[in-house]
Structure formats: structure tokens, C-alpha cells
Amino acid sequence: MALIQYLTRIQFEAGAVSLLSDELRLLGVSRPLVVTDKGIVAAGLLATVLAKSGLQPDTAVFDDTPENPTEAAAHQAVELFRTAGCDSIVAVGGGSAIDLGKAVSLLTTHSGPLERYAAILGGVDRIGANKPPVVAVPTTAGTGSEVGRAALLTLEDGRKLGFISPHMIPSAAICDPELTLGLPPYLTAATGMDAITHCIETFLSPRFNPVADAIALDGLARAMRWLEIATSNGSDATARREMMMAALQGGLTFQKGLGAVHSLSHPLGGLKSVKLHHGTLNAVLLPAVLRYNAVGSEEKYARIRAAMGLSELADISAEMAKFSQRLGLPATLGQMGVTADCFDQIAQHAVQDHSTASNPRPVSAHDFRQILEDSL
């Protein structure tokens, strides 16, 4: 097994799920609450994790994670955590289950309404280390939440907010590419575009972190080489491993901050009128944001072209749009069911989003609305 110590403990290898019980013992815990979703259960992945990890068959399981995790679901899981006498969280699934697991850990020891800990409401310094440990077991290759310092949750009033702190990073991540072998082509493509967006946006962030920049470019190069293969041939073990690494690398660079793509995809994901997949939203928004951010980013765009294997004069925005369409993803927000009547609201929320501060070019509400119109 390859043990990587960067931000947190990462067990990365085919079959790594067998180390889950060992990681819990190292953390001094033994009664985890498994946080997952019904899709993971139906696909047989939870049964696989329980069998291969050595967890007890009667381990408490919360499987009601929504597609976009919510404050209500977090409180429901906290209640189960307490009644079952749990001492830790094992989050199994994509970013939704892992983000919900982080929120459950937070709410078991931090009092008051959840919004009190939101980054844009001054909550970063209110999040302490006195939380049950979280072990993340990703089953997709996209979100990077297994090593990320943030959890995104939709509050009861519809706001989708980020809860950010070094204390939100899982205590350990079990990255087993074999758990992604059954991921359908569309979800492979959509989650893979999420990883690509993470690598691009963190690299473009103006915050100084050359180590993270190098990781982001390497992750981008991996994803551009292997995502189409993983999408067309889901049983290709090499492609699955390389995409899980690309997703992990995107997550390792989150401390640089994201950008305007995520500033928009966060509030769009909180819409109640239509269910929107985060990675698909990022894929649709990315070309317009790349066009907007091109001003003043010439040197970094040259490095992005090199990582993508493009010529020096290639239009990154156009190439990314073509790449996404080759993967079978929608090209516009309209194709996803989004209408322009929400744009003013979304633009205002985007200005306030925590990702906006690290976009390489200042973005106003007017600019965000134009990006939305360009993506419609």
C-alpha cells in the first residue's frame, strides 16, 4: 500500500478498503456511524465496504444522504449517532455523503444553529478540533472531499453554504479505485469534470502556494488523459486509478481556494425547483468562466494548455467545451432545466460565496449574471 501524508493520512491503492478498521484503531475509535446514501447501498458498495473492512455487520448506518446534503439530514444523522453510541464517522460515497459526514461530526460537539459555522458568516474560527474523527471512503473520482477542508450543505432556508476549517479535513482517507469500477459512464464523466474544475480553479487562484500549483497541474494532466477512457471503459483499472488520483490531487489543492465556477455552482445546487448535479454544473459553467478569467492570466493559461496537451494558440475555453461534450455531458444550463428567472438571485449569492475571493479576476453581480447568460 502507498501511504501518503499530506494534510491527512491517505491510504491509496486497490484493495485499500481492507485497512479501514486499522485506521479506526489508530484513531482510538471503534464504533463508527457509517454515513452513506441509498444508491451506494443498492449498488452493493456498502456491503463490500463492510465485508472487506472488517467492520461489524451491526454497524450503525445512516443512508438518507440527499443528492445535495442538507441541514435537516445532518441533524437526523446526529440523532442516530447519539442513540447508537457512536464515537466516529465513516463516510462512504461521493462528495455528498462525505460532506454530510463532516457536518455530523461538527454538530455532535458544536452547539447552536449550523449557519453559525458557515465561512461567509464568520464561522471558520468557531470550528474547533473537539470533534469525532471522520474517515472518508470515496466511491467516485471527482469531489476531493476526502481531503478537503470544506463541507457544502443546503440550509433550511435554501442557502447552500460552505463550512470551512482545517478541522473539517477527514482524519484519514481510504482511496480504493476498485470502489469506482461500477460507476456509470455519465457519473464518471460528471465527477471527473468536477476534478478537472478543481485543478484549474485552484491553479488559477492568486494565492501563493507553488506546491499546490504543481499538484493541480499534475492532476489536470492525469484527468485530461484518462477521463475519456474511464468513461468509455469503466472496467479499465488503470483509468480508474488515475482518475481517483486526479480527484485526490484536486482536493489537496483546496487550500488555495476555488473560483467563479464554484461561486455559481454552489447556489445553483441549492435551487429547490430543479435537481442539479454539482460536477455537471461545473462542466457547463467552466467554458464561460475560462473566457472571463483569461484577462491577466496569460502565463497561467500557457501552463494549463501544456498540461492539457494543447498547442500554444489553442482556445482553452473552446477545447474544454468540446471535451465535455465528447463525454456526453450537457452543453448549457438550459439543457439542465435552468431558466433565466433565477439569475439575479444566483448572481447575488455568488458574489457572497466563499470561492469568489480567490477567483483570479474580480467578479461583480453583473459579471456573474453575464456568465450565467453565456452558459444558458
Tens digits of residue pLDDT in 101-119:
999 999 999 998 999 999 9
Give the C-alpha separation, 97 to 138, whole Å: 9
Give the C-alpha separation, 270 to 149, whole Å: 20
Q: Which domains does the chain have, with CATH numbers?
A: 2-179 (3.40.50.1970), 184-375 (1.20.1090.10)
Tens digits of residue pLDDT in 153-179:
999 888 888 999 999 999 999 999 999
Tens digits of residue pLDDT in 199-219:
999 999 999 999 999 999 999
Tens digits of residue pLDDT in 254-291:
989 999 999 999 999 988 889 899 999 999 999 999 99
The helix (H) or strand (E) run that includes residue 143 is none
Cβ proximity of 34 and 62 under 8 Å: yes
Among 5-14, 31-40, 67-76, 184-193, which is the least confidently predicted range? 5-14
Give the C-alpha separation, 93 to 81, whole Å: 18
Q: Is the pLDDT of residue 339 over 90?
A: yes
What is the DSSP annotation of 72-120? HHHHHHHHHHHHTT--EEEEEESHHHHHHHHHHHHHHH--S-GGGG-GG
| Residue 164, all three cell numbers | 470551512
pLDDT of residue 54: 87
| Residue 283, all three cell numbers | 462542466
